Amino acid sequence: MNRIIRSAYVVSFALLFGITSCSNQTSDTANNKSTEAEHHDHNHDHSAAHNHQTDHATSETAASKHIPPFTFYKVKSGISFQNVDIPQGRKTVFILFDPSCSHCRSEAAALGKNYDKIKMVNLYFVSMNDPALMASFLETFAKELVDKPNVEVLYDRNQEFIQKFHVPKQFPANYVYSTDGQLEAHWDGDKSISEIITAYTK
């Protein structure tokens, strides 16, 4: 019964979360301060979705303080990828994104243009969208990140991110973890590329 309830929760949340979610606002809830973003007419606020959270998801204002156990799937190969597969000795960044979000596309493009500055960071683009929509995301918007050893696009088939990491209000949502897997910073929405790189590498 619990499994059925949980599945219904996940499906309803995924529908509420939306496929085209995107926002120009930044919501900082860690060690970073809010920054101004460019105006955009495609705003979407996920705050109502927090009413559907259960106690095994993090609270509205708190992301998981450490990288939790998870199973995602590499979009290119379909091979499972778990927390134990993360290379050690590097910072790890998860970007929860939507392939149709213009802000997600812009952030990926900016990261690609600055790859040399983030090549020592584990960088994971995670999405609950159909893998077919995710497959060409980097090839289209951030060619510089394609086939890089530290970059992976991961399919969150079972919506584990919103259950175990955090429920963000806007895309893209960035989560920066230290070399020992502890949360250092996270934010929803836009930041300048210089601020992003600083958060990833400081």
Q: CATH number for the domain including 179?
A: 3.40.30.10
What's the pLDDT at 121?
Answer: 98
0.85 exceeded by the pTM? no
In which residue ranges of the chain is pLDDT below 70?
A: 1-21, 23-61
What's the pLDDT at 23?
Answer: 56
Strands (E), 67-140: 71-74, 80-82, 92-96, 122-127
Domain that holds residue 130: 2-201
Distance of CA 61 to the CA centre of its chain: 16
Task: Give the total number of structural domains in the chain.
Answer: 1
Q: Per DSSP, what are the bridge partners of residue 127?
A: 155
What's the pLDDT at 133?
Answer: 92
| pLDDT tens digits along 37-89 | 333 333 434 433 333 333 334 345 589 999 999 999 999 999 999 999 999 99
Give the HSE-up count for residue 183: Cα atoms under 13 Å, Cβ half-sphere.
Answer: 19
